[in-house]
Amino acid sequence: MSTLIDASIRLRSSSKWDVAPDVIGVGIAESDYGAPEFIREALADYVRSGSLGYLWDQPQQALVDSFLVTYAALCDRRVDRETVRLATDVLSAFDIALKTVGRDGDVVLVPTPAYPPFLDIPERFGKRLVASPMRWDAAGHWSVDLDHIEQVVAHHPGGLFVLCNPHNPTGSIATFEELTALSEVLTAHGWHVFSDEIHAPVVHGTSPMRSYASVSPSAREHTITATAASKGWNIAGLKCAQVVIDNPQLRRRWDEHVISGHTGPSTLGVVASTLAYSSEGRAWLHGANAAYRETLEHFHARLSTQLPLARWQVPEATYLSWVDLGAYLDSGLTVAELSDRARVEWLPGASCGIAGAYDEWARINCATDASTLDRLIERLGASALRIESL
């Protein structure tokens, strides 16, 4: 375990652990490592200074400076400072994108499995949701189904495509070739893209992370990119996201939908994100990602022995494991019943798709210590075997 991670923090006070006392919380995508110590100390000093009024310009400019450097390094994308906007969080950026792009009744296309809010939110903004099942290749890489996407976009010009890269829940990173081919199809039919790159800091070095908007001039023109330090540095509760919009007209429309002073990041979120994106923050992140790789490896090794029929892939990014438990559910029992028996709270695959597409899957968050994962696997092994023998 990396020495950069403060081993004494094994948080049990996050939303992930808001579960009954005997339940193991591996659902919500947040890490038990908590925020880096240097950020916690800086926040404590900041609070002591009493400077807790409305956010003003100087801290925002400092965040943009820090973001530009680190984002370029993480996503292989150079960004101009005038294209950056700050938002409360990535989901409120998604809300604004839905208001900014297109009209009522336009299609929002979401590859599945998906981060569940992407399936719920579009219709609340008057859009029509279409799901596009992703493909899973023999090497364990999940990618969008371009043929299906082309069929949909050709019939519904002017929609919004929701790209999540690195991908939650599968942990795959889209390749340059995949992104380029996608940009050609979407450009041909006048589509826009909301590119969620919130997991870009948590990558494992097996595949390069490339921001969608950087793959072609047309991708740059039709994309709203959103990211945040909340996953990489565990500061989601502080509320601060960064949005990049290259196209000036799109940016103007975005600005029209943002009521200045009423929506936006918190002052503490801006202070913490500025530090996260500093060189000290990047060094900490490097250690955190090494620790996640260790726990993911540990988890998958144990899973292979205790539940050998489960199917999973080594994630290229994120601390999440997306597991197919179908082989253990032949007797008609469900993933929900399995989690009840094992006293485990994960993200059920059912919430990541529509029409029962991923009912046999579960997303398990491995950003915890090895002993918690051991207990989880033991309980799952015991419960799944009982189910098998029913």
Positions touching ligand PLP (CB under 6 A) are 29, 89-91, 115, 164, 168, 196, 198, 228, 230, 236, 241
- The CB-of-155 to ligand PLP minimum distance in angstroms stands at 27
- The CB-of-212 to ligand PLP minimum distance in angstroms stands at 14
**CB closer to ligand PLP, 27 vs 381:** 27
Q: Rounded CA gap, 49 and 70, in Å?
A: 27
**CB closer to ligand PLP, 66 vs 168:** 168
**CB closer to ligand PLP, 91 vs 327:** 91
- Residue 231's nearest CA partner among 294, 273, 278 is 273
- Residue 233's nearest CA partner among 286, 285, 274, 290 is 285
- Residue 206's nearest CA partner among 141, 154, 130 is 141
**CB closer to ligand PLP, 230 vs 274:** 230
- The CB-of-101 to ligand PLP minimum distance in angstroms stands at 17
**In DSSP terms, which residues pair with 133 in a beta bridge?**
112
Residue number, nearest CB to ligand PLP: 89
Return the C-alpha torsion angle 5, 8, 11, 13, nearest 10: -140
- The CB-of-266 to ligand PLP minimum distance in angstroms stands at 12
> SS3 letters for 317-375?
ECCEEEEECHHHCCCCCCHHHHHHHHCEECEEHHHHCCCCCCCCEEEEECCCCHHHHHH
- The CB-of-113 to ligand PLP minimum distance in angstroms stands at 11
Q: What b-and-e string marks burial along 358-387, b requiring 16 or more CB atoms within 10 Å of the CB?
A: bbbbbbbbbbbeeebbeebbebbbebbeeb
- The CB-of-119 to ligand PLP minimum distance in angstroms stands at 12
**CB closer to ligand PLP, 165 vs 383:** 165
Tell me the angle at which helices 370-388 and 279-306 cross, rounded to the nearest 10 degrees: 30
**99 neighbors 125 (Cβ within 8 angstroms):** yes
**CB closer to ligand PLP, 156 vs 239:** 239
**CB closer to ligand PLP, 36 vs 171:** 171
**In DSSP terms, which residues pair with 111 in a beta bridge?**
132
**CB closer to ligand PLP, 60 vs 365:** 365
Which residue blocks in the chain are alpha helix, DSSP H?
37-49, 57-75, 90-100, 117-124, 146-155, 176-188, 217-221, 248-257, 267-276, 279-306, 335-342, 370-388
- The CB-of-176 to ligand PLP minimum distance in angstroms stands at 20
- The CB-of-74 to ligand PLP minimum distance in angstroms stands at 15
